[in-house]
Structures are given as structure tokens and as C-alpha cells.
């Protein structure tokens, strides 16, 4: 019986990993096709955060944020820029592609510190306030504070 439990738990972990990999690949494709990705972006530090929502009075975990970093060339095709991204998806129907709720990529104008945190040592950027710290924080990933003054 113990061996069956181990096999079952291993299967569950594999199923979660493959579902997350599928959603992450979909998010990377979405970003690569967006106007913000110049050339062929290189993706790093990608992870998935799921949170519960309510659909038709039933709790489900189909709300997904794919978070990570990408390297892309600037508009002049000279300098490589590293940007964080958050792609929010709704993955309620496991049989089809997820629905894209939003694609949020860190731009220079979103790196400024939010007014309420400028006087503290932990300055949260606008990008972190609106996207990163709202959707990309879990047990393994803490809030970040990189706001520029």
C-alpha cells in the first residue's frame, strides 16, 4: 500500500509540473509575439504561481501567473535589456489553450519608486506594486523592492 501511495504522489507531482511547463511555454510564445519583445528574447528564471478563484460558485485554481525575466535587444538593436514579466492567464478549461488576461513587461517608466515607499529603505517600483508583488510572490519567491528614486 505504501508503494502505491508513493507512485500516486509521484504521478500528481509530474502532472502539476507538466501543466505548469505547458502554461509557461504558452506565456513565452505570447511574449515573443508581443510588441515588447525585440528580436528573439531569451527567457530565464520562469516560474508559475496559481491562485484560487471562483467560477460558477465553484473554487478553482485556474488563475495562473507566469513570472520571469527576459533578455531582449533595445529598439536600436544595440543594447541587451533584461526585463521582468508577468503574464496572467486563466487556465480553467484544461483541454484548450489558456486565456490571456494580461501581459505586463517591466519598462523604464514602471521602475520608479512608488510615492508611498520613497522614504523607506524598501522602495517598491510601480511594476512591483501593480504586477510582480501582487502575482509572483509565493513560498519560494519573496516580494522585491527595486524602485528607483
pTM metric for this prediction: 0.76
- Among 33-37, 46-50, 53-57, 61-65, name the one with the lowest average pLDDT: 53-57
pLDDT of 142 > 80? The answer is yes
CB-CB contact of 65 with 48 (8 Å): yes
C-alpha cell at 56: 460558477
Partners of 51 in beta bridges: 63
d(CA 128, CA 51): 18
Q: What is the pLDDT of residues 60-119, one digit of tens each?
A: 557 899 999 998 876 666 777 889 999 998 866 555 678 888 999 998 889 888 866 555
Q: What is the pLDDT of residue 77?
A: 67
d(CA 119, CA 121): 7
Amino acid at each position: 500500500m505504501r508503494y502505491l501511495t508513493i507512485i500516486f504522489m509521484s504521478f500528481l507531482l509530474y502532472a502539476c509540473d507538466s501543466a505548469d511547463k505547458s502554461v509557461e511555454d504558452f506565456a513565452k510564445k505570447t511574449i515573443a509575439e508581443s510588441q515588447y519583445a525585440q528580436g528573439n528574447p531569451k527567457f530565464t528564471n520562469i516560474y508559475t504561481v496559481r491562485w484560487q478563484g471562483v467560477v460558477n460558485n465553484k473554487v478553482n485554481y485556474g488563475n495562473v501567473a507566469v513570472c520571469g525575466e527576459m533578455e531582449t535587444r533595445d529598439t536600436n538593436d544595440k543594447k541587451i535589456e533584461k526585463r521582468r514579466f508577468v503574464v496572467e492567464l486563466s487556465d480553467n478549461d484544461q483541454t484548450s489553450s489558456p486565456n490571456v488576461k494580461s501581459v505586463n513587461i517591466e519598462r523604464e517608466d514602471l521602475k520608479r519608486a512608488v510615492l508611498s515607499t520613497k522614504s523607506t529603505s524598501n522602495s517598491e517600483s510601480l511594476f512591483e506594486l501593480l504586477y510582480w508583488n501582487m502575482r509572483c510572490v509565493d513560498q519560494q519567491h519573496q516580494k522585491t523592492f527595486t524602485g528607483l528614486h
